[in-house]
Structure 1
């Protein structure tokens, strides 16, 4: 492993060169991160540093550190392209309470050339012994395996014809043709992207030369991406060979279904393959016992739950995919049914009320892997089932 950034000992003082960011009235002020400022809520950040990778290539990195947080806290990585423009971030959970050791892995796409580490906390935070090292895809996949070991009974199998209408992508995965795969959507899509499933795909298809890019904007769906300027920025400029559209925000506006269809059909008419990923998990829909928040929960069925908003989005997008003859990757049922049957405490899979933590992301990554595995299926595997559950 090649070290990209490292700091031994407690992270404070001028030696660390980290900053404390104070935001007041929409303006940011930057101060040296001293021992006194460890007691304050807010954001601390490193200097921007090179990712030590060739331009136009992806890479994997292992982030380790110890942290003691008084309240809710995130570890955070901001990425920048060659022009210094901010790209979609990656962040994860730091548990409040006693000091813990964290071992995380991130996948960084071909656009990023530099990054900035940060911690964002609602209370005092103490960080020490930070290291960011470049690792191989094989090592990243092995890390995924260790996290997946915390998901007993995750035995989802994707429909065998999931790649029936994605033949060129299926061929590229197996013959090594360079292939740009763009994941379009909101922060829920960003979580799926940051499950590091790309390393699992690399292991499953050793000849593949895929480049995955997350083209995301928080709370945003195709009602935004269909607008010409945004279509150019978020889709066309990235030159996708496969566009995966997902998230929970596509139907935020009445025109949402039509806009989703418009984006999918426009890219297909330009020769790009396209699939819809059903909404990933967000709010923990299981009934919480407020008197025992850490208690295990009884088994429950998402399809029979009160999660009506997302059940409706799921059904509407499923029907659209069928009507438009679009591949429909059903993430919603396997991820929510597993969580419902797991019995784990409320919020076990989340880093905040909306977003998945490392365990929750890995569940998403394993589901994505199962869909990609079907690229090995013969083209005559049966009639297409674009909207099958």
Structure 2
């Protein structure tokens, strides 16, 4: 947790409408399916209003939260989006969420800038058109980011109670010690765009409030629609995991191709776990949080880990993960049950928690982020049994 500075500082402002305004460009939709490096191949999200590159008031590697305020109106759900760039101009994993259909309203969105980000682009993307005006980007404190999470949670996801089903927390002694002793600690979140949703849930603001003075450094390492079959290859493991010298590797997402072969998915996850342990890192497997809509109507209150999408994928399946984690003796946290139980019981409209066919909006991200932080709080309080060799 870095020292908070420059908080409350306005970074950039665009008064009035942005269409045709200097510093903004329009990128026409390409149509069909498109590949987004940190998300995967999905249906084109439409035309894009794209800002110039905006320098951030942070150093490379520094932790920082920002608030993006804007007024928008759209007839169909669309997106606000942040693209990040490092000091050499290379793209980093993005952050995006939903602009909701309806009359004009003021939005106040919060994001944690990627630690290595030096510049960003602000983007508004829509297939049906969106009107945006009066944009302000401001640096804020961790406490303000956590308060934003609280307000969103109370208004949009009231009554959510995390379900904590942790297996083999005794395999996380160094993680627990770092929570208590405030030791420098690097945790890598490895996976796909669903793991990106976990990172961009702003859980780090809640984590920092729960563990004041901690020295955790959470790093996101993802590739769109990519899982352990890819990361298990030695060169890919070096590029996406080993180079960060992690103390903890958190493996998650829905892209391990388990529906094609659960045996191969399990084997590739075991390989990633084994290579991580060989680095001296602890390993934590996270079962899949919600992604695809499984409900056929708001009154559909049942969900199952065997749910299959029309594309044949099984985004809630965790059996192969449980087998791999158990065989390797590493920790596993159930990130599926609590959020899915809440969504099933909520009777909210279909897609209430999602920004597109697969990914979570701010509501869905809150369920994920809060569930994750509660697991860390549980770990911090637990007396862990010693492990026999």
The question of a shared fold, defined as TM-score above 0.5 by the shorter chain, is answered with: yes
Structure 2: 5+ residue stretches without partners: 1-7, 33-45
User: Counterparts of 1:270 and 1:382 in 2: how far apart (Å)?
Assistant: 21
User: Counterparts of 1:279 and 1:356 in 2: how far apart (Å)?
Assistant: 12
Matches within 5 A, 1:14-33: 14=21, 16-22=22-28
Aligned match of 2:288: 279
- Residues 171, 103 of structure 1: alpha-carbon distance in 2 compared, 3 angstrom cutoff: same
- Residues 267, 153 of structure 1: alpha-carbon distance in 2 compared, 3 angstrom cutoff: same
Aligned match of 2:376: 372
User: Counterparts of 1:162 and 1:104 in 2: how far apart (Å)?
Assistant: 36
Matches within 5 A, 1:1-389: 1-14=8-21, 16-22=22-28, 42-149=47-154, 150-159=156-165, 163-252=169-258, 254=261, 255-288=264-297, 297-298=298-299, 300-303=301-304, 306-307=307-308, 310=314, 313-380=317-384
Shift of 1:180: 1.3
Contact 1:279 1:314 in 2 (8 A): yes
User: Counterparts of 1:163 and 1:109 in 2: how far apart (Å)?
Assistant: 28
Contact 2:68 2:138 in 1 (8 A): yes
Shift of 1:311: 7.2
Shift of 1:59: 0.7
Shift of 1:168: 0.9
Question: 3-state DSSP class of the match of 1:265?
Answer: helix
TM-score by length of structure 2 reads: 0.87
Contact 1:76 1:118 in 2 (8 A): yes
Aligned match of 1:294: none
Describe the superposition over 1:72-116 as per-residue Cα deviations: whole angstroms up to 9, x where unpaired: 321010001111110010001012332121111101232111111
User: Counterparts of 2:190 and 2:315 in 1: how far apart (Å)?
Assistant: 21
- Residues 51, 313 of structure 1: alpha-carbon distance in 2 compared, 3 angstrom cutoff: same
Structure 1: 5+ residue stretches without partners: 27-40, 289-296, 385-389
Shift of 1:305: 7.5
- Residues 234, 383 of structure 1: alpha-carbon distance in 2 compared, 3 angstrom cutoff: closer
Aligned match of 1:38: none
Question: 3-state DSSP class of the match of 1:19?
Answer: strand
Shift of 1:158: 2.1
Q: 302-311 or 74-83: which moved more?
A: 302-311
User: Counterparts of 1:300 and 1:383 in 2: how far apart (Å)?
Assistant: 40
User: Counterparts of 1:25 and 1:299 in 2: how far apart (Å)?
Assistant: 33
Aligned match of 1:32: none
How many residues get paired? 361
Question: 3-state DSSP class of the match of 1:310?
Answer: coil
Shift of 1:314: 1.3
Describe the superposition over 1:138-176 as per-residue Cα deviations: whole angstroms up to 9, x where unpaired: 110011101111222212242476632111111112222
- Residues 346, 378 of structure 1: alpha-carbon distance in 2 compared, 3 angstrom cutoff: closer
Contact 2:92 2:114 in 1 (8 A): no
Contact 2:63 2:114 in 1 (8 A): yes
